[in-house]
Amino acid sequence: MPGPHRDGSRVVERRVVTIGGGTGTFSFLSHMKKYSFNISAIVTMSDSGGSSRRLMDEFRRQVPLGDLRQSLVALARNGALWREVFMHRFEQSEEMDGAEQQRGVSGHSLGNLILKGLQDINNGDLLLAIEDAQELLNTRGRVLPVTLAQTSLCADLEDGTTICGETNIDTRGNDNPNDLSPIKQLRLVPPDAAGCAQSIRAIRRADTIIIGPGDLYTSLLPNLLVHDIARAVRESDAEKVYICNMMTKHGETDGYKASDFVNEIHRYLGGRVDRVIVNNGTLIPDVLKTYAEQRSEPVIPDRAQLTRLAPTVTIEHLNLEDDRLARHDPERLVRAIFPADEL
């Protein structure tokens, strides 16, 4: 594994690229910033719900801002106030009808509105808007979009039907206990969206590339559907690490073992990762019961199959203990990925 670089008498920080989105990435980045890594967080741009959706509907060619905002807040060092400002969401008024709410700030994320304002100040340049936000938040690293193109995520199911929209794919198992047709193929529309040049550059210069943690089909794989990004990861000399999900998700990964997750990552990457990180910690019965009611269960770490898929497999107790949710312990994750002498 490459270590820190030496430039004359100066030690250069390990260049770490994370690829993901959603709450898993947020939690991991929030902890990673405590260490002296040179972090570039590449985030999915396929969000299709909430405040991001409304901004996309109102402003032509607007890309979703939700995952960018979350990653910026995760890496922020500029105190609790700025983080709270970017994470604040205006309450939805029960006295307003749907049309009135759509026209106002009700339900909007203030951070999304700030990013949109910074984008307008910079004549529509999203990358300059992100740089300004990074300055405001004094982030420990950079946040980069996987693409600057406006895209939509679609899932072709085995029963021949298609679901389009990241939110629709993500929530189709909610409150639906019935068997659902598995996802056969995930794709972007348009399929030829160009990768963000700055993201490709970060991948090429990385020492370590971390895919995850995050939902397989809505937070991780959408990044690899951008062909320039997948190719850059394949061609990179960096160590490529995949953090496997702890739980299956109804409507997306029903019945998946750890090797099934890895096979899907390899399928869309067009190559293999160097290391797979899998949890084998025990969850408390109440947590297991809650997830079972949603038809979600712990991912089985099938070591024998995993060792055929990746050169290095790390199976450890990585979950938070005594927590009401099944979540990775970010400190355990960091220590499972990086040598102790670099932390």
pLDDT band at 11 (very low <50, low <70, confident <90, very high): very low
| Paired residues of 243 in beta bridges | 277
Of 3-17, 276-290, 297-311, 315-329, the range with the lowest mean pLDDT is: 3-17
Which tens digits make up the pLDDT trace of 184-213? 999 999 999 999 999 999 999 999 999 999
Total-model pTM: 0.89
Once rounded to an integer, what is the mean pLDDT over residues 135-153?
93
Which tens digits make up the pLDDT trace of 257-306? 999 999 999 999 999 999 999 999 999 999 999 999 999 999 999 999 99
Q: Is the pLDDT of residue 82 over 80?
A: no
pLDDT at 293: 93
pLDDT at 49: 46
CA distances from 187 to 163, 164, 165, 223, 233 (A): 11, 9, 11, 11, 18
Q: Is the pLDDT of residue 6 over 50?
A: no
Once rounded to an integer, what is the mean pLDDT over residues 60-76?
83
Which tens digits make up the pLDDT trace of 35-50? 999 999 999 988 654 4
CA distances from 69 to 96, 280, 288, 339 (A): 27, 31, 31, 30
Q: Is the pLDDT of residue 112 over 80?
A: yes
pLDDT at 29: 94
Percent of all residues in the chain with a pLDDT value above 90, rounded to a whole number: 69
311 C-beta neighbours (distance < 10 Å), count: 11
Once rounded to an integer, what is the mean pLDDT over residues 16-42?
93
Q: Which residue has the tokens 């190559």?
A: 271
pLDDT at 103: 57
pLDDT at 272: 97
Closest CA to 326 of 293, 286, 273: 286
pLDDT at 176: 87
Rounded-to-5 percentages of helix, strand, coil across the chain: 40, 20, 40
Once rounded to an integer, what is the mean pLDDT over residues 218-227?
96
pLDDT band at 111 (very low <50, low <70, confident <90, very high): confident
Give whichever of 30-34, 37-41, 90-94 has the largest mean pLDDT. 37-41
Q: CB-based burial of residue 246 (10 Å sphere; 0-12 exposed, 13-18 middle, 19+ buried)?
A: buried
Q: Is the pLDDT of residue 147 over 70?
A: yes
Q: Alpha-carbon distance 63 to 57, whole Å?
A: 10
pLDDT at 9: 37
pLDDT band at 322 (very low <50, low <70, confident <90, very high): confident
Domains of the chain (ranges; CATH) run: 5-342 (3.40.50.10680)
pLDDT band at 7 (very low <50, low <70, confident <90, very high): very low
Once rounded to an integer, what is the mean pLDDT over residues 304-330?
94
Region class of 174: left (phi > 0), else alpha (psi between -120 and 50), else beta: beta
**Please, what's the largest Cα pairwise distance for the chain?**
65
